[in-house]
Amino acid sequence: MNVVDGSKHAVDLSHGLENVPVLIERSSSVPIFPEFQYSPENIEGPGCTVDPSEVTLPGCSCLYHSCCTESCSCLQTHGQAYDSTGTLLDRTQTDSGYCSPVFECNALCSCSDTCSNRVVQRGLRLRLEIYSTRNRGWGLRTLEAIPHGTFVCEYAGEVISFEEARRRQLTQRSEENNYIIAVREHAGTGSIIETFVDPAVVGNVGRFLNHSCLPNLFMLPVRVHSVVPRLALFAGRNIDAHEELTFDYSGGYSNQPPVELLSTQSDAAIKASRTDGLQRKPCHCGANKCAQFLPLDLSILSGNNPK
């Protein structure tokens, strides 16, 4: 699909699947563009036991256009995540040391589609452009200013099993990128829920986000209709127009430690087993406190008590 962006014609990478076109920089000097199937949301991949598109969460019976904590069962159970404008509230860590996941109202809720507890499910709302960076291949930048706490985009792709994720990592060539994100959530009973998302073959605009040791985005698991979390990226600060969008593949933000800290020998053993046989790649983010290498284990987030 060709769209008009200012005075130039551009291609909509999403082919009309997003609310706004996803533009690609047009230049004769850009690298070869990767081939993949565009999907704005997660799809079921090899080893996935739950269909991400299936509605499995209960809904509220609110009669108002927008839910309020006094009467909404969703907000009472999971807490309020957004203000009245849909801006993410401060997600402070709990006593356990982990951040709380976000639950939005869903298809079974009786509130309006304009409810302030429906943000990620509304999809892409910002004008973004994929462009060729100086030394990191393709990247993603915003064409408009983004206020702090704004939902930017999802990191969507195939939801796969750990075994499939491991197989894909070990069969990658050294020059290929590893797109797989692992989300580990502590269920509060000593058990761990894991979700693996790979947008390499089927994915969305989020697959073009580069790593930075000093990023301007951070990722949170957001549950909408399904128990399978959607990996949502929010602005960690005010972001200027034409600024590159980045997040920390290890889950940290502003050079702080990752949300999930390896504090036990068993966790350390898990991490070691997953990175065995994988080669480290240099980081070119340019941050003052760059770690010099990209994270090997892309284990991004932890939440507590997902229901």
pLDDT at 93: 53
Q: Is residue 299 part of a domain?
A: no
Q: Are 204 and 40 in contact (CB under 8 A)?
A: yes
pLDDT for 158 equals: 97
- Kindly write down the DSSP assignment for every residue of the chain, as one continuous string: -EEEETTEEEEBTTTT-SSS--EE---TTPPPPPP-EE-SS-EE-TT--S-TTS--S------SSS--TTT-HHHHHH---B-TTSPBPP----TTS-PPPEE---TT--S-TT-TT--GGG---S-EEEEE-SSSSEEEEESS-B-TT-EEEE--EEEE-HHHHHHHHHT--TTS----EEEEEE-SSS-EEEEEEEEEEEE-GGGGPEE-SS-SEEEEEEESSSSSPEEEEEESS-B-TTPBPEE-TTS-STTPPPSS---SHHHHHHHHHHHTTPPP-B-----TT--SB--SS-B----B---
**Is 219 contained in some domain?**
yes
Instruction: Specify the pLDDT at position 185.
Output: 79
Residue 258 lies in a domain: no
**How many structural domains does the chain have?**
1
Q: Is residue 225 part of a domain?
A: yes
Burial of 195 (0-12, 13-18, 19+ CB in 10 A): buried
Q: Which tokens belong to 91?
A: 């997600």
127, part of any domain: yes
What is the chain's pLDDT, residue by residue, as a tens digit (307 residues)?
Answer: 555 454 355 689 999 999 999 999 876 566 688 899 999 999 999 999 999 999 999 999 998 889 999 999 999 999 999 999 999 998 655 545 556 779 999 999 999 999 999 999 999 999 999 999 888 889 999 999 999 999 999 999 999 999 999 999 888 887 777 889 888 877 666 677 889 999 999 999 999 999 888 899 998 899 999 999 999 999 999 999 999 999 988 776 653 434 443 223 344 444 444 445 455 677 777 777 787 666 654 444 444 444 4
Q: Which domain holds residue 70?
A: 11-26+37-252+271-277
Kindly state whether residue 295 falls inside one of the protein's structural domains.
no
Tell me what pLDDT residue 28 has.
53
Give the CATH number of the domain where residue 86 resides.
2.170.270.10
Per the domain annotation, does 41 fall within a domain? yes
Asked if the structure places residue 222 within a domain, the reply is: yes
